[in-house]
Each structure stands twice: as structure tokens, then as C-alpha cells.
Amino acid sequence: MNHAHQFYRARRDALLRTMREQSGGGVALIPTAPEVPRNRDSLYPFRHDSYFYYLSGFPEPELYHLGFAQADTCGRTIAENADIAIGAKVRMSENVINQAGMEPLKRAIRACEIAGGGAKVMCHIGGVATPELMSQILDALRQGDILTHCFTGFPNNAGKFTNIVQEGKLLPAALAAKKRGVLFDVGHGGGSFDFTVAEAAMQQGAMPDTLSSDIHVFSGNSPGMPYLTNVMGKFMALGFTLEQVVQMASAVPGRIINRAPMLGTLQVGAPADATLVDIVQGPVEFVDTRNNKRSGKVQIKPVQAVLAGIAYGRPYNAPFSPS
Ligand SMILES: [Zn+2]
């Protein structure tokens, strides 16, 4: 056990002791905000929280204690909520699972097998413990599972580079996963997108399937500014067309989610979600999460978002209006 592990265990033990001794047993209520009210934009969550912020308000990685990864309960919950639950997300970084190796991913796969109905694993990488573990993860992912933060350059706890591109070479296991139908998702975020990884991976055959922001309060304030339109702009700078980046950020993920017909499209009868953008021509410099810079010629600037027919930042349609 490393220092952090002991710290978390001590804190948990103290909490349990307090509950037992001072209240004669008790229940800890751990409030979490459902994804939709919190973000107003995520209709199909993989999970609510990545860290526990219980009582103390300090973050604690969710899988320092594997007891929290219960495949049967997770699988049942996914099955019971199949209208909105797509699958199980598991974070495989060393700073989340410590030295648990493949066990968390095995449990996520097992949960999806129990759930049935094509439940998918979304596997988060970035700083996995060893290069070998990275290949094992890639070998274990099934057709239709999602590798997210696929172009991360985040190092492991020792500062070592253990991602899908190592010393300029795409791992054979990554190419095999790609060919097997594992979906590669960008999930840029505040620490998970490296131009040098993306360029090498794409040159060697691992194209992204979906572009995504991983936007939250921390990532949104990071230098890479991973707003979805910026992520799309970065991939235009890497050679994709506007049509391609739009597809990869809308219709393709809509098809993968596979819940509402025509989700992510503008067809008649599709959910009325849309983002209006300006396409601004002119030089722009993009930054990744490791301070690599690339220049582009086009910037996509969001103007207005519409969700379920209601424009954000505008008054709701008045039910009382005269006509
Ligand atoms: Zn993640």
C-alpha cells in the first residue's frame, strides 16, 4: 500500500468508528447530483461520479478499494435502467486503481455481461501502471467497447509514458483493438489529449471514432480549453474535414448510444438538439494538455445551443403568451 492508500483507509476507518461509537451505528448519506441536472446536457451517463467526495469534501479515487466495484450490482443497475444506462465506465489509471492490475476492467466487463442488452464498457486510460497493463487492457476490450482518452499523454505515477503510443510506435494491441471494432473516443479533458500521440496513432492506423470534450469545472479552465467545438477544431487542424468532425461529434456517438432514433442528426423526428456555430476562417493556435501547439486555419465558435427544442440562454417559451 502506498501512502495515499493508507491515508484513505485511515480516514474511512475513522468515519466508520465515529458512526459506530457516537451514534450506535448509523448511515452515511452521500449526496450525488444526477448528471442531467448538474450539467443539463448529458442525457446518457456512464456513471455519476469518478471520485468520492464523501463527508470531508476531499476527493478520493473510487477504486482504491475494489470493494466498490461490484459487478453483479452494477450489472443489475444497468439492466434495470437500460433506457438511459449505456454501460459501465472504469478508470484504469494508476492514480485511480493503484496496483489492482486488470481486476477493475474485468469487473466492468462482467457487469456488462450480466446487464446484457449490448451494455458497453467505457475504459478510461491515461497513466496506467505499466506498458504491459496498457496492452492487456487493449486485448481485453470487446467489439463495441469504448477506449476513452484514447490519445492521452498522461504519465503514470512514476512519470513514465504508458499510453497507446510508446516511443513513437502505436502498440500492436491498439491496432488490433481498432481492427476488432473497439471504439476510440477522444475525451480531451484537462489532461487527456496529446497531439503527438494523436498524430502517431492516426498515421499508424488508429483513427478516432468519436470526438468528445470531457468538459467539467476543472478541464474547462485548463489551457487546452476542451470545449467540444475546440476539440473539433483541433481535429480539423489535424486534417479532418468539417463534415467529418461534425459527424464524429454528433451522429456517430448518437448511433453508438443507440437509444433514441436518429439521435445526433437533424432528420425530421429526431430529438431537437442542435448547436448553431460560426465557422471562422483565419489562423488559430490550438494547445493540447501537454503544451504542444498546432496551428489551424479554421475555428468553430458556438453561438447557440438548443436542447429538446429549447434554446439555452434565452427565456423559456412562455406558456402564457398571447398566441
Ligand atoms: Zn475519464
Cα(92) to ligand 1 centroid in Å equals 9
Rounded-to-integer distance, Cα 244 and Cα 152, Å:
21
35 in a structural domain: no
Is the pLDDT higher at 10 or at 301?
A: 301
Q: CA 121, CA 142: separation in Å to the nearest integer?
A: 8
252 alpha carbon – ligand 1 mean position (Å): 19
Q: Does residue 106 lie within any of the structural domains?
A: yes
Contact 273, 266 (CB under 8 A): no
Q: How many domains does the chain have?
A: 1
- Taking 70 as the threshold, does the pLDDT of residue 223 lie above it? yes
- Whether residue 286 lies inside any domain: the answer is no
Q: Which domain, by its residues, includes 153?
A: 42-270
State in Å: Cα 149 to ligand 1 middle: 7
Tell me the CA–centroid distance for residue 154 and ligand 1, in Å.
Answer: 12
Residue 54's pLDDT is 47
307 within a domain of the structure (yes/no): no
Q: Residue 124 Cα, ligand 1 centroid: separation in angstroms?
A: 5
Cα distances from 150 to residues 73, 134, 256, in angstroms, run 28, 11, 17
The model's confidence at residue 89, banded by pLDDT at 50, 70 and 90, is very high
- Confidence category of residue 64, pLDDT binned at 50, 70, 90: confident
Residue 64 covered by a domain = yes
Q: How far is the CA of 20 from the centre of ligand 1 (A)?
A: 35
Distance from the alpha carbon of residue 323 to the mean position of ligand 1, in angstroms: 47
Confidence (pLDDT) at 52 = 54
Distance 148 CA to ligand 1 centre (A): 7
Residue 35 confidence class, pLDDT cut points 50, 70, 90: very low
Is the pLDDT assigned to residue 44 strictly greater than 90?
no
Distance from the alpha carbon of residue 145 to the mean position of ligand 1, in angstroms: 14
Ramachandran region of residue 63, left (φ > 0), alpha (ψ -120 to 50) or beta? alpha
How does pLDDT run across 109-143, given as a tens digit for each residue? Answer: 999 999 999 999 999 999 999 999 999 999 999 99
pLDDT tens digits, 162-214 = 999 999 999 999 999 999 999 999 999 999 999 999 999 999 999 999 999 99
194 with 292: CB under 8 angstroms?
A: yes
User: How far does the centroid of ligand 1 lie from the alpha carbon of residue 281, in Å?
Assistant: 32
In a domain, residue 20? The reply is no
Q: State the CATH number of the domain containing residue 59.
A: 3.20.20.140
Answer whether residue 94 is part of any domain. yes
Average pLDDT of 55-79? 80
- CA 185–ligand 1 middle distance (angstroms): 10
Please indicate, yes or no, if residue 155 is contained in any of the structural domains.
yes
Ligand 1 midpoint to CA 192 (Å)? 8
Give 165 Cα–ligand 1 centroid separation in angstroms. 18
User: From the CA of 276, how far away is ligand 1's center (Å)?
Assistant: 27
Cell of 307: 436542447
For residue 282, the CA-to-ligand 1 centroid distance in Å is: 32
- pLDDT value at position 55? 44
- Computed on alpha carbons and rounded to an integer, the radius of gyration of the chain in Å comes to 21
> What pLDDT is stored for residue 21 in this prediction?
78
Check: CB of residue 101 under 8 Å from CB of residue 124. Answer: no
Residues 169, 135 contacting (CB under 8 angstroms): no
How far is the centre of ligand 1, averaged over its atoms, from the C-alpha of 49 (Å)?
A: 10
